[in-house]
Structure formats: structure tokens, C-alpha cells
Amino acid sequence: MSIHKPVLLKESIEALNLEKGDIVVDATLGGGGHSREILKAIGSRGILIGIDNDINAIKYFAEFLISNFQFPNKLQFPIFKIKNAYLINSNFANLGNILENLKIKKVNAIIADFGLSSDQIENAERGFSFQKDGPLDMRMGKPLRITRLDSQIPLVEARRANRYEYTNRSITAREIVNNYQEKQLAEIFRTFGDEKYSGKIAKAIVLARKAKPITTTKDLVEIIEKAVPQPYKHRRIHFATKTFLALRMEVNNELANIKIFLSQAIDALEKKGRLAAISFHSGEDKLVKNFFRENAGGCVCPKEFPICICGGKPKVKIITKRPIIPMEKEIRNNPRARSAKMRVIERI
């Protein structure tokens, strides 16, 4: 049974503009709250495609032993069929492959909630929480990483020449804190976590691991506590929040996967189909906002050009001029919703 509370549930279902018989993707199944409301809206003639990297999310939603209900497919991840729902244990960056395997060319709506599920946070063994002692893991499932097909080509050139592929990435937070260089750690904490004391925390980690390996969330919290100034420990936000967030994002390659997903999601939408993206971090929200703007703008010519020569046309229109945020009542009932921002676009 899932304990996760869906964020912006009413607002997101309304924003998707669903009808009976629609084909809808919930790219981040999580506790299944959004998916259950989607199923009510689309009825028995509709199709739900629920994706989650965490097999436990699939199990919670299915509410029975799913191993006997696997749907045959050519891909390397399991697909389960339950009535009018397909449940896929995979990264949402695989959206294009998933739809192709299901022989679905276009969908009417897509929703993605990039936040962490309460089921994952509350499970100490997953290593996501700084409030519970557990192994430094933080893997959501099977995150993807970029692998060069030719190891002699620099990654930037490999991207340009389309000489790369996405493969499973199994690095843990423990491996990162015990092996990354001080400069790398500081950059991760600063870039992904907006951590003010990124340099001090990175330095403290490198010093601590010389004495013994950092293996648990408790070990890391104690290191962070000693690294930051006293006033920083008494703010509303816990002093370890940003470091843990940054590590999680690095472990799961989150920003890169979101960008891959958004591109595939726009291409998968029917005309007037809608995509709702819920972010919890400034880096995620900025990525979504800029991506939506680029695809709504069409022309990519430099501003100094008097006329457009690229021929680019808008793919989408932006439905939410400003992000939708939770009401006070929702935040009181679910404090983890406080940083949520939802942006919505419609395919032209």
C-alpha cells in the first residue's frame, strides 16, 4: 500500500483536459494517485500507460503479484498489462521506445511529476532521507547514462555525431562521496542543490573519507553538520537537504533524463494533446520552462537577423504563463508539496 500523496492532483487532471477514450501517459507512476484519477476520467475505453523506474511503484499500483502478468515485448524492461493499463518498469527517458513497442503512435496527454515518492523517502534502505539512517544508495531504479560508441571520441563530439547511446547506470551515492574529487563534489552540490556551502561540504567529505569510507546517510549528515556554520543548522530547511538532493540528482542523472523525456513527449502528443510537468527544484523548473519556450517559439535565428531563415515553426503553445503552485490547504496536508511547480503545454 502506497503512502504517497499526489501533488497538484485536482489542478493537473483539469489541466490535461481529458476525455473518455483518451490514451494517457503517467511518466512517473509513483504512488499512483494521478493514474487512478486519469483512469476515472478516460473510462474503460481509454488506455493508461504508467511508467516508473522503481518496480515497487508498479507493485503498489497493481496490488497483486505482478510477475505472472508480464506483457511480451522486445525491450529489456518488463511491461505488465492490467485491464486497460500498461505498467512499465523503466526510465521515462525510454518513452519513445515504450510507445513504439506498444504500437501506439500518438497519445492525448502526458503527465510527469519529477519529485521523489514518499514511499522511497520513508524506506531507510533506499538512502534518500537524511532523517533516517540507511545505506548511501539513492538509486530510483535503473537510471540511464550516456555511453560513447567510440571511446576515442570526446563526449561533446559524440553527441554532435550521434555516436552515443543510453545505457543503465548503477552508480550509488556511496560511490560518489567516496570517489569523486573535491572539485567535482562541490560542483554537484552547487549546481544541483544550490548549496551555499558546497565547497566546505565537499572539503569535509574528502577529509572524512581518508579516515574511513562514508557508508551511511548518518555518516554523511554528521559530516555536513560539522562543515556548515552554526546559524545554517537552525533554518527552516534542514542543513543536509540540498546536499542530499544534489547527490540524488547526480546518481539518477535526472536533468539529462528529463530533457530526453520532454523531447520525446512533445513528439508523442496528438494535436491539442497536453503535457503537464511538475518540478520541485529550481534546476528542473528552469529546464522545463526553457524547453517549453523553445518549442513554443519556433524560430531559432539570432535576434539580429531581420527575417527568419531557419524556417522553424512552433510545436506547442504554453497553457500556463506562470507555473501553477499548490494552495495553502494542500501544503498544510502535505508539506512536501510546498516547492512544487506545474507547467503545461498543448501540441499545435
Return phi, psi of residue 166, to 5°.
-105, 125
Q: What does the block give as the cell for 248?
A: 540524488
Q: Report percent pLDDT > 70 for the chain.
A: 85
Phi-psi region of 47 (alpha: psi -120 to 50; beta: other; left: phi over 0): beta
Q: Are residues 83 and 229 in the same domain?
A: no
Arithmetic mean of pLDDT, 306-333: 91
Q: Do 246 and 284 reside in the same domain of the chain?
A: no
Task: Report the predicted TM-score, pTM, of the whole model to 2 decimal places.
Answer: 0.82
Is residue 22 domain-resident? yes
pLDDT at 70: 60
What is the predicted pLDDT for the residue at 315? Answer: 95
For residues 260 and 116, state if they share a domain. Answer: yes
What residue spans of the chain are helical by DSSP H?
9-16, 33-42, 55-62, 95-101, 118-122, 155-160, 173-179, 182-193, 198-211, 217-227, 241-251, 254-268, 282-297, 328-333
CATH number at residue 223: 1.10.150.170
Question: Is residue 149 situated within a structural domain?
Answer: no
Alpha carbon distance 256, 231 (integer Å): 34
Q: How confident is the model at residue 2 (pLDDT cuts 50, 70, 90)?
A: low
Q: Are residues 247 and 265 in the same domain?
A: no
Average pLDDT over residues 318-339: 93
Residue 155 confidence (pLDDT): 46
Per the domain annotation, does 164 fall within a domain?
A: no
The contacts of residue 151 (CB under 8 Å, 6+ apart) are none
Q: What are 204-224's pLDDT values in tens digits? A: 999 999 999 999 999 999 999
261, 92 in Cβ contact below 8 A? Answer: yes
Distance CA 52, CA 57 (A): 7
Candidate ranges 2-6, 272-276, 307-311; pick with highest mean pLDDT: 272-276
Kindly give the pairing relationship between strand 316-318 and strand 341-347.
antiparallel
- CATH number, domain of 263, equals 3.40.50.150
pLDDT at residue number 157: 52
Q: What's the pLDDT tens digit per position in 57-115?
A: 888 887 655 555 566 666 667 788 888 999 998 899 999 999 998 999 999 999 999 98
Final residue before a domain boundary, out of 223, 251, 279: 251
- Coil/strand/helix, residue 270: strand
What letter would DSSP give residue 233? G
Number of domains in the chain: 2
Residue 319 lies in a domain: yes
Model pLDDT, residue 85: 94
Question: Which pLDDT band, with edges at 50, 70 and 90, does 146 fall under?
Answer: very low
- With a cut of 70, say whether residue 164 has pLDDT above it: no
Burial class (CB in 10 A: 0-12, 13-18, 19+), 307: exposed
Domain closes at, from 208, 231, 251:
251
User: CA separation (Å) from 199 to 77, 120, 208, 223, 233?
Assistant: 39, 28, 14, 13, 17
- Report the pLDDT value the prediction gives residue 77, as an integer from 0 to 100: 73
Answer with the residue of higher pLDDT: 12 or 252.
Answer: 12
Residue 321 is predicted with a pLDDT of 93
Query: Which residue range is the domain that position 327 belongs to?
Result: 9-120+254-347
pLDDT recorded at residue 111: 98
